């Protein structure tokens, strides 16, 4: 993995020009931290140079959550998200269903990553890259990493959602996240952040 940091007092200025991965258990505050860093980045560079690709499912209890749950995103920011996002390990009732939902996610998410590859911006933020990595290609994500001057992604890294009904998507997810981290400058592991229901406007 890249250089590990336990602190969550990271600021936008700290990640400008760097490639950063935020890891944590479900509900640990990954998206909240990414939203804070996104907001700070918009004060440091032109928001038109920022792309947000939000691959997270809608919030359900402590699991999931989009960046827009924590911060308003201006219309000048390129904001991409799939029409439908599935939670294969929670929604799938059989191995076949788990794999079906994972494949649907890949089909819905890959075009968004390709949109960035075809027309990159200086900053790219990907929320919940792990859902794509269940069956997606690491090289597609790495192409995005290479094209962005500043790259920030959140990724699930825990045990709460490990049960994949024997499909192997959890092991694949963990393996590809570990590989992705090796290409980045900084890996931030978080355990828990204080909750705050307030939403800030950009």
Q: Give percent of the chain with pLDDT exceeding 90.
A: 70
CB 38: neighbour CB atoms within 10 A?
A: 23
Task: Please report the pLDDT score of residue 62 as a whole number.
Answer: 61
Distance, CA of 106 to CA of 115 (rounded, Å): 14
- Helix pair 138-147, 95-118: axis angle to 10 deg: 30
Q: 33, 90, 169: which is closest to 177 by C-alpha?
A: 169
The three-state (H, E, C) secondary structure of 141-154, written as one string: HHHHHHHCCEEEEE
Query: What's the alpha-carbon Rg for the chain, to the nearest Å?
Result: 16
Give the chain's mean pLDDT: 87
Task: Please report the pLDDT score of residue 71 as a whole number.
Answer: 93
Cβ proximity of 142 and 177 under 8 Å: no
Task: Please report the pLDDT score of residue 9 as a whole number.
Answer: 74
* Mean pLDDT across 116-122: 98
Q: Is the pTM of this model over 0.75?
A: yes
pLDDT digits (tens, 9 = 90+) for 98-113: 999 999 999 999 999 9
Q: Give percent of the chain with pLDDT exceeding 70.
A: 87
The DSSP secondary-structure symbol of 57 reads P
CATH number of 3-190: 3.40.50.300
Cβ proximity of 182 and 2 under 8 Å: yes
* Mean pLDDT across 114-142: 97
Domain boundaries, the chain: 3-190
Cβ proximity of 89 and 169 under 8 Å: yes
* Mean pLDDT across 12-21: 96
pLDDT digits (tens, 9 = 90+) for 45-77: 999 999 999 999 887 666 668 999 999 999 999
């Amino acid at each position: 993995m890249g250089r590990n940091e336990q602190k969550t007092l990271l600021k936008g200025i700290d990640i400008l020009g760097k490639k950063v991965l935020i890891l944590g258990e479900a509900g640990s505050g990954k998206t909240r931290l990414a939203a804070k860093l996104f907001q700070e980045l918009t004060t440091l560079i032109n928001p038109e140079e920022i792309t947000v690709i939000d691959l997270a499912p809608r919030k359900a209890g402590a699991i999931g959550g989009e960046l827009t749950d924590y911060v308003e995103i201006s219309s000048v920011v390129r904001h991409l998200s799939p029409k439908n996002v599935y939670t294969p390990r929670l929604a799938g009732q059989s191995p076949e269903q788990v794999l079906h939902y994972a494949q649907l996610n890949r089909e819905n998410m890959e075009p968004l990553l390709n949109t960035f590859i075809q027309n990159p911006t200086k900053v790219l933020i990907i929320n919940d890259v792990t859902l794509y990595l269940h069956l997606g290609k690491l090289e597609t994500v790495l192409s995005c990493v290479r094209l962005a001057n500043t790259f920030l992604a959140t990724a699930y890294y825990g045990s709460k959602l490990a049960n994949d009904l024997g499909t192997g998507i959890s092991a694949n997810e963990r393996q590809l996240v570990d590989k992705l981290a090796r290409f980045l400058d900084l890996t931030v592991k978080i355990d828990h952040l204080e909750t705050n229901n307030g939403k800030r406007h950009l």
